[in-house]
Amino acid sequence: MRTAGTFRFGVATSGQYLSGAASSRVSGRPRRHGESDAREHETVMAIDIEVATKDCTALTDAELAEMADLSAAERDGWEVGFLSKQREDWVLVTQVREQSKLQGYALSTLERIGGTPSLLVGVAAFTRGPSSATSLDAAMRDLYRRAVLAFPDEDVLVGTRLARASGFRAFAGLEDVVPRPDHRATGEERAWGRRLAKRFGADRHLDDRTFVLKGNGDAAGLIDYDPLEPPRGTEALAGLFTAVDCQRRDSLVAFGWAMAEELAASTLPI
């Protein structure tokens, strides 16, 4: 059973990153989980944003090309060949559109790591336009909806890789986010960093004290979220990326906990 925490990670309506008191945790009983099949395709409307999630195996070549075109305009610039390989490595793809135009996407999976329910975002990219924050929030909201279906009554670990501080928006509303400023990771938290790095196929390249995953210059999966105007508060997080070499394509392994009661209440992201 996980004990009550003291740190919540959130994003204010102004886009400012902030923390506060955490709610008590509930440790749920283990449940079998399932993934959606290729035919599952649901759409959620929020303002003018449309979100659709389906199996990666259902991605067409045209969709991959569209995703690559979006990425080419962003900082991390993934090509079709890289995305095609990622299609084989991950289970779900979430696409976010505004008036039918792709604004962002995420490749992810719901699985258990050592028995722990986990939502892993392997690759994600969002435009730098005015709807970038809304698109990221919409994608995460849909993934949380699926997480509660796969793991009812259980806290879920959310893990990914980041290249810059603004990407921490993906952890809005989560508890005990690691790494974070002025926090020395515990032995168990460092072990989770190693587990995630192994799942990402790069366990030998992780510094489990800084959570920096060393790259080799090749394209690597992460959340590519770089809004035109970084939210206030990212300065406090910038120190976590001091050792990240973008030219080498380093990244920061990060994770947090989505609480069972908040998943059930559909209150994430906050």
> Does 16 reside within a domain?
no
pLDDT in tens, 150-167: 999 999 999 999 999 999
- Which domain, by its residues, includes 252? 38-265
- The CATH number covering residue 52 comes to 3.40.630.30
Rounded Cα gap, residues 232 and 220, in angstroms = 27
How many domains does the chain fold into?
A: 1
Report in angstroms the alpha-carbon separations of 248 from 34, 156, 216, 245.
Answer: 36, 31, 5, 5
pLDDT in tens, 12-62: 433 344 433 333 232 333 333 333 333 333 334 445 899 999 999 999 999
Q: First and final CA of the chain: distance in angstroms?
A: 25
CB atoms within 10 A of CB 20: 9
CA dihedral 248, 95, 9, 219 (to 10 degrees): -10
Helix axes 61-72, 80-89, angle to 10 degrees: 120
Q: What is the pTM for the complete model shown?
A: 0.84
Q: Which neighbouring-strand residues pair with 93?
A: 54, 107
> Does 65 reside within a domain?
yes
> Does 71 reside within a domain?
yes
Per-residue pLDDT of the chain (270 residues; tens, 9 = 90+): 454 444 555 544 333 444 333 332 323 333 333 333 333 333 344 458 999 999 999 999 999 999 999 987 666 679 999 999 999 999 999 999 999 999 999 999 999 999 999 999 999 999 988 889 999 999 999 999 999 999 999 999 999 999 999 999 999 999 999 999 999 999 999 999 999 999 999 988 999 999 999 999 999 999 999 998 877 778 889 999 999 998 899 999 999 999 999 999 999 997
